[in-house]
Structures are given as C-alpha cells and as structure tokens.
Amino acid sequence: MMCACIAKERGIGRGSVHNSSPTQVLKRSRRLSKDEMILRLDDGKAVPAEAVGSLRLVISNHIRIDLKDCYSVPSHISKDRIRRLVDSKSLEVDNLDHLPSCESCLKGKMTKKPFVGQSAIANGLLDLVHTDICGPLSIPARGGFSYFITFTDDHSRYGYVYLMRYKFEAFGRFKEYRLEVEN
C-alpha cells in the first residue's frame, strides 16, 4: 500500500492516502468508485479523490499531486516495489530515476562504524572506579536486600558487590569499599 503526503506548497495541508481496495493495482489511469480513496489532511478533513494516474492523485478540485511532490511514510511502497510494478506492466511511470529518496528510510538504514580505537585504561589502582546501583529488585534477597551496588577498578578490573536495603545506603557502601581497597 502506498501512502503519500501532499506538499505544503500546494496550499491544502498534509495528508495520507488510504485505499480501501488494496487488491486493485494501479493502471495508467482509472476512475475510482465513491469513497474508494480518501486523502486525510492534517487538520482532520477528508478529501475524496476522483482518479489515480501514474503516480499521480487527482483531487475533486482538480489539484494534481505527483509522487515526487510527496514524501513517504511508514508502510509506504519502496522504489524497488514500484520498479517491479512497472516491470510487470501494472504501473506506468515516466521516469522512475527521478523519484525522491525517502529520508526516513535512509536514516533507518544508517549504521555506526565500530569503535576500533583502544580506550584509555587508568594508569594506577583506584585512579578510576566505575560504580553502578541496581534495584529495587522485584524479589528482595535474603535479609530484605532490594538493591546492590558494584564498584570496579578500571586498572585491575577487580570488582566488589555490596547488598543494600535502601538506595540511600550507597554512600555508606562506598566508604566501606574505600576502606577495604585502600588498606
């Protein structure tokens, strides 16, 4: 199903196309039955379409909307699918190469390159300590402990775990950790 949105410069707002007969394929040009295709605008109004042409929508006030003036939305038809419709003679397009790219699709396909550099590790013990608090746990541990806190030395990667009943105990557990590792 192809959805499209009217370009703002047309002066009639934005909207999406809803075809109530998804089994019908687009031909070069054909008349639509009443309420078969409706253009819903962003202001809530629904404008019935009169006919559909090759990637062109004709609204009852004779405004023509070309696909190149529209942008695609989720569940839109891809260029590859349009190309297959053209190849199967179900759709005629003058110039398929001049259809705009869907910016949202391009952003969705982007990936980040993996970080290949090495991260800097602390030079000495306790120069950098990573900590994390987890909780509240849905089922408390024996003794009523609902939280735990971890401390990991960046240089040695040695870690400590302390159980806590309440989150506000974190600073006290840090003091315990510091006394333990500095001695």
- Contact call for residues 37 and 96 (beta carbons, < 8 A): no
Task: List the alpha helices (DSSP H) in 78-145.
Answer: 79-87, 103-109
Q: Tell me which amino acid residue 137 is.
A: L
Share of the chain above pLDDT 70, in %: 54
pLDDT digits (tens, 9 = 90+) for 124-174: 888 999 999 999 999 999 999 999 999 999 999 999 999 999 999 999 999
pTM for this entry:
0.38
pLDDT digits (tens, 9 = 90+) for 35-90: 566 766 667 777 766 555 545 556 666 666 665 555 444 446 777 777 887 788 76
Fill in the DSSP letter of residue 112: P
pLDDT digits (tens, 9 = 90+) for 87-131: 887 666 667 776 666 777 778 788 888 877 777 888 988 899 999
